[in-house]
Amino acid sequence: MSTDTVAPAAAKPLSLRRILPPIVTGQEIVLLGVLVILWVLLGIFTPAFLTPASIGPLLVQVAPIALIGVGMTFVIITAGIDVSVAAMIMVSAVTTARMLVAFDIPAIAAVLVAIVIGAALGAINGFLIAYGRVHPIIITFGTANLFQWLGLRVFDSSTVNGIPSTLEFFGRGGAGSTLGVPHSFAIAVIAVAAAWWFLRYAKAGRNLYAIGGNQNAARLAGIKVQPRLVWVYVVTGALAGLAACMVIATGTATLDQSVGSGKELQVIAAVVIGGTSILGGRGSVVGTLLGAILVQTVVSGVTQLGWPTQLGFLFVGIFILVAVGTDLIRERTRRRA
């Protein structure tokens, strides 16, 4: 019998990286750097930008974009897309607002109504995409028009007036913030943190990357692709419903038919700029949060500098093109390697 002994492997020294995994990496660090530079420049040229009176409303505007962006990140990671979120906001917001006016329901009931409506609309998208085998942009473009028609029917060709302040917890002002931090933004950050953990450590979260990378391979590996796809669209719809409550709270006591308009483009811009690959299989909710802050910073900065509003679209468009171009170059490089 051999008397040789095997020396125990040297224990790797503990490091901060092993104990606390990095939250921001790669493109997110670049994005964070761009944000810091932008805030410094805006602080120099418009000193009012870095005051609580300016930052608070900016974070309130960021909140619904970042919140829906969590669901949209899941969707795009699976190589999908959802252009119907603005219509979901419209249906959820107008239905909830009408119930607040007619029945004066409590805040928790209003929030649940909005979330359930959004989730139901998301489920329609999910089932059609998962089991209809049609490209998500075709399905969600079609349902966006259907949802918008439904919302206009609920509006009944008029605005909703006299909305009570039941949802002020999500709004601007003292009732909508604690220690200067808007509640709506804090909720969005909590959602991002939960989604970050889910994508990084939960098996179901890691499965989303596998589905986006190669759906057939994921299916052969035993992943239940269809239920996962339905789930990501339901989550996106539910978050759109919650975001509708924020939109109601940050507006006036009147809701008109333009509610939610353009939000789908802002959300997709935040996700793409945040580093999530439009080809699927790669993405980060932390990047989405940074992307949402960047988009709103550009829009607010252009306004405070007194520049034409159109320049905001130009700058955001440039950021999107740079992000998508970088993603495509990275993907080609990876395939050649």
The answer to whether residue 4 scores a pLDDT higher than 70 is no
The pTM of this model reads: 0.89
- Residue 27: the pLDDT is 74
* Burial of residue 234 (number of CB atoms within 10 Å: 0-12, 13-18, 19+): buried
CB 93 within 8 A of CB 260: yes
The answer to whether residue 264 scores a pLDDT higher than 50 is yes
Longest dimension (CA), the chain: 91
Residue 205 amino acid letter: G
Q: How far apart are CA 217 and CA 8, in angstroms?
A: 39
- Residue 195: the pLDDT is 97
- Residue 50: the pLDDT is 86
Q: pLDDT tens digits for 163-180?
A: 999 999 998 777 899 988
Backbone angles phi, psi at 31, to 5 degrees: -65, -40
**51-261, which class in CATH?**
mainly alpha
* Burial of residue 252 (number of CB atoms within 10 Å: 0-12, 13-18, 19+): exposed
Q: What is the mean pLDDT of residues 124-142?
A: 94
- Residue 105: the pLDDT is 93
Query: What is the DSSP code (8-state) at residue 252?
Result: -
Q: pLDDT tens digits for 302-318?
A: 988 889 888 888 988 89
Q: What is the mean pLDDT of residues 13-26?
A: 55
The two three-digit tokens of residue 269, written as one number? 């811009």
Looking at every residue in the chain, the average pLDDT score rounds to 89
The full length of the chain comes to 337
Q: pLDDT tens digits for 27-46?
A: 788 888 999 999 999 999 98
